Amino acid sequence: MEDKVKAKIMDSRKIKRSFHRMTHEIIERNRDLNNLVIVGVRTRGVFIAHRIQGLIQEFEGIEIPVGVLDITLYRDDFSDPTEQHIVKKTEIDFSIDKRDVLLVDDVLFTGRTIRAAMDSLIDLGRPKSIQLLVFIDRGHRELPIRADYVGKFLPTSRRERVKLQMKEIDNKDEVLIIEPAGTKQE
Amino acid sequence: MAFNHKHLLGIQSLSAQDIRTILDTAESLSEISSREVKKVPILRGKTIINLFYEASTRTRSSFELAAKRLSADISNFSKATSAVVKGETLKDTILNLEAMNIDAIIMRHASSGSPHFVSSFCSSHVINAGDGTHEHPTQALLDALTIQQEKQTFKDLKVVIVGDILHSRVARSDLYLLKKLGAKVVLVGPPSLVPPAFKKYGAQIDYNFDRAIEDADVVMMLRIQLERQKRIYFPSLSEYHELFSLTPQRFSRAKHDAIIMHPGPINRDVEISTDMADSAKSVILKQVENGIAVRMAVLYLLLGGKEREITD
Amino acid sequence: MKLLIKNGRVIDPASGTDKTLDILIDRKKIAAVGSKINDKTAKVVDAAGKVVAPGFIDMHVHLREPGYEHKETIATGTLAAAAGGFTSVACMPNTSPINDNPGVTHSILTEAKRSARVNVLPIAAITRESAGEELTEMVNQAKAGAVAFSDDGRPLTNNQLMRRAMEYSQMLETTIIDHCETPDLSAGGVMHEGDYSYQFGLKGIPSSSEEVMVARDIILAESTGVGIHLAHLSTRGSVELVRRAKAKKIPVTAEVTPHHLLLDDSLLEHYDTNLKMKPPLRDKKDVQSLRKAAKEGVIDVIATDHAPHTPDEKEVEFDQAPFGIIGLETCVSLILDRLVREGILPLSRFIEMISSAPARILNLTDKGKIQPGADADLTLLDLNREVIVDVFAFRSHSRNSPFHGWKLKGAPEMTIVGGKIVYHC
């Protein structure tokens, strides 16, 4: 049995609107945009980071640096124990010391990825602050973590998967709820 | 991209894809060594033994730093400090170490095949850090990472390896690896030190260095072990130097962008002239730097993550 | 005490016999051979469906006693021999002390009388301490019971001394056996020198190490006219030298082990020390050449070179392990399954190589044949019985065999020594 798309929650227009709203919230909150840096968590967090960077540039004319974070070496939740987790490069070619770091990921679920990302950031320097942006918050937190900017709150069942598709790698923008193969309908 | 090996015993048991996975992982990990805090937590709680029955500073410290940068605990054992001097067998030494709940053994030993022997009865991961005249897989991997950074590809690259091939575990591992990745390998040295049997493993053999170095992309010089030769394999160092040392005149026959490699430790003005060893074309120190990234990659791929299904 | 072996397929290479016959044994000798023998006073052994052969003789065994009883003793070694179908074993002199004087030969025979299951035939050293410097008292040793002379394991490289030993031995009905190895060519070597030794990074023992000595021995045999037996040949070059020597009627005989007929150097990739022996396992072409030579009679004898070592001694780094493997309990099944059943070696030829040929070479005039008056040493074979080699079930004190787990068809059924059943499966 294959994974099944249960519902399409957002299309590209809705997604674009969310990006605009979140960008305005970021600008509003960070009065000193020149102190802001963006760090995207691989893989889709990086594309989200670049879109936010583009919108800030468009609205404010300021180019915010973007870095790439790979958190494999900090994870505690290797979901599939038979799979080799491939380590990719962390590419942050600016200092994060005393900067306001906007950490970006696609889906916030248990919070463990963000815990790993924060540990990793703190090994890289001492930021003035860390803010969190996620495109989807689907609940079910296992750690005391809350996002500062959220594209959409999406209550789901634990079993389901939420997928943000982005045209940079998935050819189109949409948010899907997926019923994984092999699970019973309730 | 699965890397399903329990041990790293030699290059021969790796596929080309395995080698690429290690090199890619090493590329990703290399950034950690340039951080201010040179440490990531992935191997926290893992215990590794550095068991060196043969003298080594470079390889032993490189493995030690690699393990520490991944947060593993590592303990060094040398022949002099172990119970070997009291007559303990290798098997007993390993069984005693394993009783201390270790996760991996990095071993160097003068007997070819001793890591294979150890892996046949112990439950830890075994990493070969050089066994006799058999293999030195992490040296070949760091050589490959260096060549990849300099030349981007291995396909049709001409690599000339010069020196005591007969007794060199580095030459064997390099030959196997470079052939798997598509390079052309020419082994050079006096016939008494370059057995024709290596043709079977894809090498070309040339006893004339001046001819072999023409159009070379990579010139890899091996250490001549002064203490080993005793004039059975060649009559004198001066005759060897005349025929097989790397001098600027010889190097001028190689491609204009050729690089010079050496696994160290070098004998200046024996197999390589000082001006060559220190020249801009020399990547010898780059090799040493890459050694840490490659060994981090090997440790991560063998010990990182949770228990995986092991196929070998 | 009489024994009547009924309806067996009697194969006696010495007389060219291969038919169903009965054999009557009276005490230690064969009394009669014929069809439908009846004797109500004899105990009957039903050998229907079994092969009855002259008792097998392993002319190359290390019993390790005296001196290395932790590896093997005369008692355990001969128990293993009996279970392996052997009625006689010739034991090499590299014990501690080395068997270089009549006292040691005498003590071996005394212990054999007490504890041995099969006939023990001591081989004495050619030179004192096998040091290759002075001859031993060959005549006195022969009087004490030595059947042959050899410095096995410590190659006699002094050409002059070998020549004199051969000449001197003409006073005796004994044989000189040479372990052909040139130490300066094999020094430090642990496996066959070839593609695999370079790959595995193990120091090689070149074929020339053996062949140089084979050539020397043949030249000395020709010039002195005295016969010499070449132990455990392993290379095709040696086979060629022996083939040419025999064509010239030079008095030379040769031997091969089961492992050199069955295994090759490619198997060493796992550094199994149970594949480490001297001479080493050679390459596939050598194996083919040895098989052909065995079949054609260029090689006369199959012998095991049974060389026990304890697990502690073998479970070490490859280059530090001692040379040698055991073979008494696997030889017959290995040859029956892998060579006879595969059609590579005829059954009668195998029996000849392991009974009448060694008897002839060791001048054992009453052994190696089935005829009235001969010693009642017989080996019965079941060609259909399947066995799985299990080193943990060996009678030998040691377990250093590379054949553990091999499934083989054909095995010794019964071993009769001097009219007594010493083994019955």
Q: What is the CATH number of domain A12-73+89-158?
A: 3.40.50.2020
Burial C185-214 (b: 16+ CB within 10 A, else e): bbeebbbbbbbbbbbbbbbbbbbebbbbbb
Q: Alpha-carbon distance C401 to C403, whole Å? A: 5
pLDDT given for residue B309 in this prediction? 41
The answer on C327 and C414 residing in a single domain is no
Residues 6+ apart with CB under 8 A from A122: none
The confidence band for A186, taking pLDDT boundaries of 50, 70 and 90, is: very low
> CATH number of the domain that C119 lies in?
3.20.20.140
The answer on C182 and C329 residing in a single domain is yes
Q: Alpha-carbon distance C173 to A7, whole Å? A: 99
Q: Is the pLDDT of residue B311 over 90?
A: no
Contact map slice: B 22-61 vs A, CB within 8 A: 24-25, 27-29, 31-32, 35-37, 39-42
Element housing C112 (H / E): helix C102-115
The answer on B118 and B32 residing in a single domain is yes
The answer on C63 and C45 residing in a single domain is no
Q: Is the pLDDT of residue C400 over 50?
A: yes
Q: Is the pLDDT of residue C307 over 90?
A: yes
Distance between first and last Cα of chain A: 17
Say if A120 is an interface residue toward chain B (CB within 8 Å): yes
Contact status, residue B141 vs residue B129, Cβ threshold 8 Å: no
Contact status, residue C122 vs residue C87, Cβ threshold 8 Å: no
Q: Alpha-carbon distance A183 to C275, whole Å? A: 54
ipTM of predicted complex: 0.89
Domain hosting C201: range is 55-361
Residue-wise pLDDT tens digits, A82-128: 556 789 999 999 999 999 999 999 999 999 999 999 999 999 999 99
Residue with tokens 């004994």: C174
**Is residue C369, in this structure, part of any structural domain at all?**
no
Nearest by CB to B134, which of C194, C201, C270?
C201
CB contact under 8 A, B111 and C320: yes
Residue-wise pLDDT tens digits, C68-104: 999 999 999 999 999 999 999 999 999 999 999 999 9
**Is residue C368, in this structure, part of any structural domain at all?**
no
- Phi/psi at B230 (5° precision): 45, 30
The answer on B113 and B166 residing in a single domain is no
Contact status, residue A30 vs residue A60, Cβ threshold 8 Å: no
The answer on B131 and B145 residing in a single domain is no
**Is residue B237, in this structure, part of any structural domain at all?**
yes
Position with higher pLDDT, B145 vs B230 = B145
Total number of residues shown for chain C: 425
**Is residue C366, in this structure, part of any structural domain at all?**
no
**Is residue B100, in this structure, part of any structural domain at all?**
yes
Is C265 part of the annotated catalytic residue set? no
The answer on C349 and C251 residing in a single domain is yes
The answer on C356 and C330 residing in a single domain is yes
Say if B1 is an interface residue toward chain A (CB within 8 Å): yes
**Which residues of A fall within a CB distance of 8 Å from B3?**
84
Say if C199 is an interface residue toward chain B (CB within 8 Å): yes
**DSSP string for residues in chain A:** ---EEEEEEE-HHHHHHHHHHHHHHHHHH-S-GGGEEEEEETTHHHHHHHHHHHHHHHHH-----EEEE--GGG-S--S-TTSPPPP---B--S--TT-EEEEEEEEESSSHHHHHHHHHHHHH---SEEEEEEEEE----SSS---SEEEEE----TT-EEEEE-HHHHSS-EEEEEE-TT----
Strand partners, B282: B260
> Could you check whether the bond before residue C279 is cis, i.e. omega within 30 degrees of 0?
yes
The confidence band for A182, taking pLDDT boundaries of 50, 70 and 90, is: low
Position with higher pLDDT, C72 vs B267 = C72
Chains that contact A by 3+ CB pairs under 8 Å? Answer: B
The answer on C236 and C127 residing in a single domain is yes
Helices (H), chain B: 16-29, 58-69, 90-98, 114-119, 137-151, 169-180, 209-212, 226-229, 237-244, 248-251, 274-277, 284-303
CB contact under 8 A, A86 and B25: yes
CB contact under 8 A, B40 and A73: yes
**Is residue B5, in this structure, part of any structural domain at all?**
no
The answer on B159 and B110 residing in a single domain is no
Q: How many distinct structural domains can be found in chain B?
A: 2
> CATH number of the domain that B234 lies in?
3.40.50.1370
Contact status, residue C156 vs residue C132, Cβ threshold 8 Å: yes
Alpha carbons within 13 angstroms on the beta-carbon side of residue B9 total 20
The answer on B277 and B203 residing in a single domain is yes
Residues 6+ apart with CB under 8 A from C26: C1, C2, C419
Domain hosting B54: range is 16-135+288-307
> CATH number of the domain that C7 lies in?
2.30.40.10
Percentage of chain C with pLDDT > 90? 99
Q: Alpha-carbon distance A164 to A177, whole Å? A: 9
Residue with tokens 């009388």: C113
The answer on C148 and C31 residing in a single domain is no
The answer on C45 and C61 residing in a single domain is no
Residue-wise pLDDT tens digits, B59-103: 999 999 999 999 999 999 887 776 677 788 999 999 999 999 999
The answer on C285 and C192 residing in a single domain is yes
Say if C365 is an interface residue toward chain B (CB within 8 Å): no
The answer on B303 and B245 residing in a single domain is no
Q: Is the pLDDT of residue B247 over 50?
A: yes
The answer on B167 and B115 residing in a single domain is no
Catalytic residue among C12, C265, C305, C337: C305
* Structure tokens given for C389: 């080699």
Q: How many distinct structural domains can be found in chain C?
A: 2
